[in-house]
Structure 1
């Protein structure tokens, strides 16, 4: 199955995606890693535009066709990007569960944003003003929502695993 994880920067997407992939034995596909690799190639600078997502869709589809579960993680800010992930799953003939990760406490969210460190060398992290000012279309369809505010990553993971199991094929 394809598990698409989206949400604003510093909400907890990467932490949860890594934990989820380890828990269910899935491939973790991160758009930040793909985009930074494209920048390192010398072909472009940040922001790279849609190319990172397009590469991500292709990689996810290939892994899904091999029978692997994929956790695809990105901000996923637009309906068009969310639709493209679903289309990759349809082409691969697998189910898809969409997950929106939120941090409903703005003080905690801001603290995370300003205190986090870069884990992909060279990746520019957005500041708080960029995060709250970012274009982020509301989700218009059913999805799993995990609010990471006030709980540990492991507590958020337990909520996510239960919700994914209820929403889609067994993880």
Structure 2
């Protein structure tokens, strides 16, 4: 089982710090990094489709993750992952390809900090229009109904959270 590929899915509301943690984790692990925002923007740039795209970005993400897992390559998926159906779909992708799955919910427990991030963040995906604070507050996001790892970016840095996740997967690195 230790040699099986791993699918790590980082989910959470916009501006909680998912992409920052996922990027740091990808640097530490060397895993393939899939970002649903990037996939959706590529679809928008290359088609007549516009937001909201519905499930398109997630379906492409599931297939890209499946390709990697099928070849024994571990994956980090960065997405809001707001619904039970999307969470189950990621688990199904892992199971169908003999991969382990680690579900991570990224939260920012300090509402003032969360709002500050939403209002001041820079976007590194061409064409992406991030949601404003009111949109984030009204974002559809079902409560989780199963075990997952919860990391709080208001309490720890992205590097600390990535280090924790890395240790959960591989054990501590000698230089940590």
Please tell me whether the aligned partners of residues 11 and 109 of structure 1 are also in contact (alpha carbons under 8 angstroms): yes
Can you list the C-alpha shifts for 1:109-139, whole angstroms capped at 9, x where unaligned?
0000000011101011000000111110011
Tell me, in whole angstroms, the C-alpha distance in 2 between the residues paired with 1:99 and 1:164: 12
Alignment correspondent of 1:46: 51
Tell me, in whole angstroms, the C-alpha distance in 1 between the residues paired with 2:158 and 2:121: 15
Residues 1:106 and 2:111 are matched in the alignment: yes
Q: Is 152-161 or 20-29 further displaced after alignment?
A: 152-161
Which of 79, 83, 90 is residue 78 of structure 1 equivalent to? 83
Q: CA deviation at 1:25?
A: 1.1
Alignment correspondent of 2:13: 8
Alignment correspondent of 2:129: 124
Indicate the RMSD between aligned Cα atoms, in angstroms.
Answer: 1.2
- Please report the TM-score for the alignment, with normalisation by the length of structure 1: 0.93
Aligned length: 166
- Please report the TM-score for the alignment, with normalisation by the length of structure 2: 0.91
Unaligned runs of 5+ in 2: 1-5, 172-176
Q: CA deviation at 1:163?
A: 3.8
Which of 77, 84, 94 is residue 89 of structure 1 equivalent to? 94
Please tell me whether the aligned partners of residues 146 and 160 of structure 1 are also in contact (alpha carbons under 8 angstroms): no
Q: CA deviation at 1:42?
A: 2.4
Please tell me whether the aligned partners of residues 27 and 68 of structure 1 are also in contact (alpha carbons under 8 angstroms): yes
CA gap of 1:82–1:156, structure 2 versus 1, over 3 A, is same
Alignment correspondent of 1:156: 161
Q: CA deviation at 1:154?
A: 1.3
